[in-house]
Structure 1
Amino acid sequence: MSKAENIIVGISIGDLNGIGGEIILNTFEDERVFDFCTPVVFASIKVMNFLTSHFNSEITLNSCNHLNQIKEGQLNVYNVWKEPFEINFGKEDLKSGEYAIKSLEAATAALKNEGIDVLLTAPISKKTIQSDTFKFPGHTDYLAQQLGGNSLMFMITDTLRVGLLTDHVAVKDVSKAITPKLIQDKIDTVYESLKRDFGIERPKIAVLGINPHTGDSGVIGTEDDDTLRPTLQKIKESGKLVFGPYAADSFFGSNNYKNFDAIIASYHDQGLIPFKTLSFGRGVNYTAGLTRVRTSPDHGTAFEIAGKGEADNNSFKEALFAGIHIFKQRKEYEELTANPLKKRSKKG
């Protein structure tokens, strides 16, 4: 397989004291994965050698200091730092967070410079990454600044896609944050992502209400009637297949979500609780709307089981293949958009 066909996936190591290293090794111990991508872990060979020894992994590592030194069929390790670091599994400390950010920054730079095709981020601790130079609540906000575009947290599986109007916003601030412009921007991002990243020509999108029972005609709250409903009507009149607002409490239990290509929740837990319940550890956190492709597993650092050999790598593996699929889909979409006749002949 040529390098052009074999997509280069850059992997940020995440919090070194968490389960990131373990799920990376578990995923690439299956040699068939190398048929689909060439992985590059942004960390240090010393750290990766310690991890392979600790988890009794026989995986082949290729240490490199430049991206032109990577090899297909091996787990490449790009040396972001050379000094030793002592891993203390399960311990949440600022030093570990500092190295997680070093890895993320190096991988992001490679993504921006097209040294890698896809970014796959292992879990970080939102607490330990904070510093004078890094003041972001997580990956998404940092990548939005670095890569440009209208970023949106998009949780995906093969059969379910859930986006958010507001993500890491305190519940007391949600209603103030949801404005007509925000609603328009987020729906536009989801709509374009469904077309560009998932190949859906006429996406159908459902939007969940802000208040219980979408406000019950103003009895519980007026935000749905005053802001959400009229904005959705305006968007629908522009030609987009957007429906709602729907009462969130019964939407998933009634299986209504199966009638749509994506669902947009008003706030974090309204969307992520049903998503994680239905996805059974197969979910992927995809940052839609960016100029580059970034995916992540839908879980955290799991400090409580770190180093014990108990971590489940299914979500990480799903995130890997989702990133590869989206990268290919984007490329095809851009080719078809540039050459509409090719699309017509493809259908014919």
Structure 2
Amino acid sequence: MKKEEKIKIGISVGDLNGIGTEVILKTFKDPRMLELCTPIIFGSTKILSFQKKHFNIQTNFHGIPSADKAQHGKINVVNIWRESINIEYGKSSPEAGKFAVESFVQATNALKEGMIDILVTAPINKHNVQSEDFKFPGHTDYLGQTLEGDSLMLMVNDSLRVGLLTDHVAVKDVSAAITPELIKKKVAVIYHTLQQDFGISKPKIAVLGINPHVGDNGVIGVEDDEVLKPTLEKIKNSGKLVFGPYAADSFFASSNYKNFDAILAAYHDQGLIPFKTLSFGQGVNFTAGLNKIRTSPDHGTAYEIAGKNEADPNSFKEAVFTGIQIFKNRNMYNEIAKNPLKKQPGKI
């Protein structure tokens, strides 16, 4: 990448009645952010002008018809709608869901077409975005169908990385969903992303048990003994440093997680509750395993504080920083793959 080129960050606005636009504006009101990247927001200058006035944020926008017209050094806004929108902070509405989906889909198209380098998504409400045209539990599921690769939700905060074997799956369906094929696929995805996107040549991965106490030798369930353990043994025999299964209740409390480059949790809350507790509001959701890069803050729409100028932008800002670092790591990885004898920076 040439020195004068900036990484293009495409941004979907999320639910307009939530805190999405507030954290976006607070992130980019710092002019130093424009030295790191070129933001391209998919929404409308009219809505963002209303929001910046409401939150008393001093910044300017540059309206553009499409992402390929973005100008470096400016906050670009692709005007994808021009109609007036009724903002009702803290309320879920079909209208807010409709515009959230439109922003996300158009930003994803720009990512797919190479007009942006990274997609950073503001939070949506998974209920009000549902329609005949959009029947997905969340961003990750849509991206997994739209882009190339096998998607995996990976929560990131510095050296703490937590992935999920199952993500938006009802707890009653978790055990049936975890098959040897799924385990092998998810381990392969997280192993590759640690190498490609985080620069770890020989990753160490921990896998958490499905049942309490890893089933207690079958007393509390047989899935760990019959499915998880033999599959992990086969993966380990293939040369990957994969360990477990570990009892989830003591794994994080004992600080054992610090010994691994990533942790695979069996289901959503098993992984996200300890992650959000340990990341102190600065976690990032990265969709690993795809041919394109997408990150997001690790919080939701936060209706309870929407419009009150109380939203903390740190998680969204970290999502931008993480996306940029992954983009650079991935470019370096691909360059080395093409030229394996080329000396890496800082290596001898």
Per the shorter chain, which TM-score range? over 0.9
Cα distance in structure 2, aligned partners of 1:334 and 1:124: 33
Work out whether 1:176 is the aligned partner of 2:176: yes
Deviation at 1:55, TM superposition (A): 1.0
Q: For residue 89 of structure 1, what is the aligned residue in structure 2?
A: 89
Cα distance in structure 2, aligned partners of 1:69 and 1:219: 62
Which residues of 2 match residues 30-45 of structure 1 at below 5 A? 30-45=30-45
Cα distance in structure 1, aligned partners of 2:260 and 2:21: 36
Q: For residue 99 of structure 2, what is the aligned residue in structure 1?
A: 99
Which residues of 2 match residues 74-85 of structure 1 at below 5 A? 74-85=74-85
Question: What SS does structure 1 have at the residue aligned with 2:77?
Answer: strand
Cα distance in structure 2, aligned partners of 1:134 and 1:343: 46
Which residues of 2 match residues 6-17 of structure 1 at below 5 A? 6-17=6-17
Q: List per-residue Cα deviations over 1:255-289 (Å, max 9, x = no partner).
A: 00000000000011100000000000010000000
Cα distance in structure 2, aligned partners of 1:138 and 1:234: 32
Deviation at 1:3, TM superposition (A): 7.5
Name the CA shift for 1:268/1:68 in 2 (closer, same or farther; >3 Å): closer
Code of the residue aligned with 2:166 in structure 1: it is: T
Cα distance in structure 1, aligned partners of 2:68 and 2:98: 26
Q: TM-score, normalised by structure 2?
A: 0.98
Which residues of 2 match residues 249-328 of structure 1 at below 5 A? 249-328=249-328
Cα distance in structure 1, aligned partners of 2:153 and 2:189: 10
Cα distance in structure 1, aligned partners of 2:124 and 2:345: 46
Q: List per-residue Cα deviations over 1:154-178 (Å, max 9, x = no partner).
A: 0001120000000111111110000
Deviation at 1:58, TM superposition (A): 1.3
Deviation at 1:52, TM superposition (A): 1.2
Q: List per-residue Cα deviations over 1:52-105 (Å, max 9, x = no partner).
A: 111111101101112243222221110111111121111100110000000001
Q: For residue 113 of structure 2, what is the aligned residue in structure 1?
A: 113
Q: List per-residue Cα deviations over 1:4-63 (Å, max 9, x = no partner).
A: 631000000000110001000100111111111000100011111111111111101101
Gaps of 5+ in 1: none
Cα distance in structure 1, aligned partners of 2:345 and 2:269: 44
Q: For residue 130 of structure 1, what is the aligned residue in structure 2?
A: 130
Q: For residue 148 of structure 2, what is the aligned residue in structure 1?
A: 148
Deviation at 1:343, TM superposition (A): 4.0
Question: What SS does structure 2 have at the residue aligned with 1:249?
Answer: helix
Question: What SS does structure 1 have at the residue aligned with 2:32?
Answer: helix
Code of the residue aligned with 1:10 in structure 2: it is: G
Cα distance in structure 2, aligned partners of 1:342 and 1:77: 39
Q: For residue 55 of structure 2, what is the aligned residue in structure 1?
A: 55
Cα distance in structure 2, aligned partners of 1:343 and 1:132: 52
Dislocated runs of 4+, deviation >2 Å? 1-5, 66-69, 343-347
Name the CA shift for 1:86/1:227 in 2 (closer, same or farther; >3 Å): same
Cα distance in structure 2, aligned partners of 1:143 and 1:265: 21
Cα distance in structure 1, aligned partners of 2:200 and 2:334: 14
Code of the residue aligned with 1:269 in structure 2: it is: D
Q: For residue 330 of structure 1, what is the aligned residue in structure 2?
A: 330
Cα distance in structure 1, aligned partners of 2:286 and 2:68: 27
Question: What SS does structure 2 have at the residue aligned with 1:77?
Answer: strand
Identity over aligned residues, as a percent?
62
Cα distance in structure 1, aligned partners of 2:315 and 2:142: 22
Figure out how many residues of one structure are paired with residues of the other and give that number.
Answer: 348
Name the CA shift for 1:345/1:289 in 2 (closer, same or farther; >3 Å): closer
Code of the residue aligned with 1:101 in structure 2: it is: V
Cα distance in structure 2, aligned partners of 1:345 and 1:314: 30
Question: What SS does structure 1 have at the residue aligned with 2:198?
Answer: coil
Code of the residue aligned with 1:308 in structure 2: it is: K
Code of the residue aligned with 1:347 in structure 2: it is: K
Name the CA shift for 1:182/1:162 in 2 (closer, same or farther; >3 Å): same
Q: For residue 210 of structure 1, what is the aligned residue in structure 2?
A: 210
Question: What SS does structure 2 have at the residue aligned with 1:151?
Answer: strand
Cα distance in structure 1, aligned partners of 2:140 and 2:68: 28
Q: For residue 190 of structure 1, what is the aligned residue in structure 2?
A: 190
Q: List per-residue Cα deviations over 1:130-169 (Å, max 9, x = no partner).
A: 0011000000000111112100000001120000000111
Question: What SS does structure 1 have at the residue aligned with 2:341?
Answer: helix
Cα distance in structure 2, aligned partners of 1:31 and 1:92: 32
Code of the residue aligned with 1:88 in structure 2: it is: E
Q: TM-score, normalised by structure 1?
A: 0.98
Code of the residue aligned with 1:56 in structure 2: it is: N
